[in-house]
Amino acid sequence: MKIIDLSKPIRYNKNDPWFMRVKIKHKPHKKAKWLIRIFGLPFKLFPKGFVGWADDTIQKMGVHATTHIDAPWHYSPTTNGEKSKTIDEIPLDWCYGDGLVIDMKHKEDFDAITVSDIESFLKTNDLVLQPNMIVLIKTGRDKFNGTKDFHKVGTGMSAEATSWLIDQGIKVMGIDSWGWDLPLPYLVKKAKETNDPELFWEAHLVGRDKEYCHMEQLVNLDALPYTGFKIAVFPLKIVGASAAPARVVAMLEE
C-alpha cells in the first residue's frame, strides 16, 4: 500500500497572514529534568544517560489555520432547522471512504466552479460519483500555500455545485485552495460593488439547509489518480469546535 500525505506541515511561517500564523514552542530535553526533580525524583536516580524528555506547546493555532475539516457548526448554528453538528459530533464513518479527484486546475482565479464544470469533467473521464465518496477538488492553488497571497487567489466552489454534490450523497468534500468559496477578499469586494447580500460565502452557506463537511488547504492532490484510492480525514476531537486540524491521507494499493 502507498500512503500519500495531503496535509500541510504545522509550523510557524512568517509569510502566513496574521490570522493563519501558528506559534509552537519546542522545549529541549534538558528542560524536563527540572520538572522531574519537582515531581520528587532525585538527580542521582535518573537513568544513566537520561537527559530528560523533549516537549512542545502549541501556543497559538486557529482550528482553520492549517489543513482542516469544517463541521456544519462552522456554517450555521442550525442545519435544516436542527442544531448543527460540531466537529466532535461528526460520525467517524463520514471520515473514511473511497476518494475521487475532480480536476479544476484550468479554472481561472475568481471563476467559480459550477455543476456543469463537474459534470463535464466526470463525463470526459468516464467517472461516476457514488454516495459516501470523499470528493477532492483540485485547483492547483496549493502552490501558493505558505505565501502571503494564498487567501487572495484561486477559484472556488459555487453554491449550486456544493448543493449538487451533497445531493449525490457526498457528505465530505475538500479543496486545495485556502477556502471552499471564491477567495474571501474578492467576495467582500464584489458584494460591495454589486450590493448583493447573497454573494458572500454562498457555498459555505449551503450548510444552513444541507448537512455536509468540507476540507480546506489540502496539498499534493497532483500525486493522486482521479479514482481508485481511499481517503482518511479524521479530525482532532475538539469538543464544541467548528473545525479541527486533520492529517488527511490517501491510500493506494500498489
Beta carbons within 10 angstroms of residue 220's beta carbon: 17
Is residue 190 helix, strand or coil? helix
User: Residue 127: what pLDDT?
Assistant: 98
| Torsion of the alpha carbons at 119, 203, 21 and 61, rounded to the nearest 10 | -100
- Report pLDDT for 48: 86
At residue 141, the pLDDT reads 98
Residues of the chain scoring pLDDT < 70: none
Is pTM, for the whole model, over 0.75?
A: yes
Strand ranges for the chain from DSSP E: 2-5, 23-27, 55-60, 68-70, 78-79, 82-83, 96-103, 134-138, 172-175, 213-216, 229-232, 243-245, 249-252
Q: Which cell is 90 given?
A: 461528526
DSSP notation for 20-42: G--EEEEEPHHHHHHHHHHTT--
Give residue 31's pLDDT.
Answer: 82
Domain regions of the chain by residue span? 23-60, 68-252
Question: Tell me, what's the pLDDT at 33?
Answer: 74
- pLDDT at site 215: 98
Amino acid 183: pLDDT: 97
**Residues 70, 201 contacting (CB under 8 angstroms):** no
Question: In this structure, what are the phi and psi dihedrals at residue 59, rounded to the nearest 5 degrees?
Answer: -85, -25
- Dig out the grid coordinates for 179 from the structure: 477556502
Placement of cell 524536563 in the chain: 32
Check residue 45 and give its pLDDT: 83
pLDDT at position 30, please? 83
Q: Could you give the CA distance from residue 231 to residue 136 in angstroms, rounded to a whole number?
A: 10
Q: For residues 139 and 179, what is the distance between their CA atoms, to the nearest angstrom?
A: 11
Q: Does domain 68-252 have CATH number 3.50.30.50?
A: yes
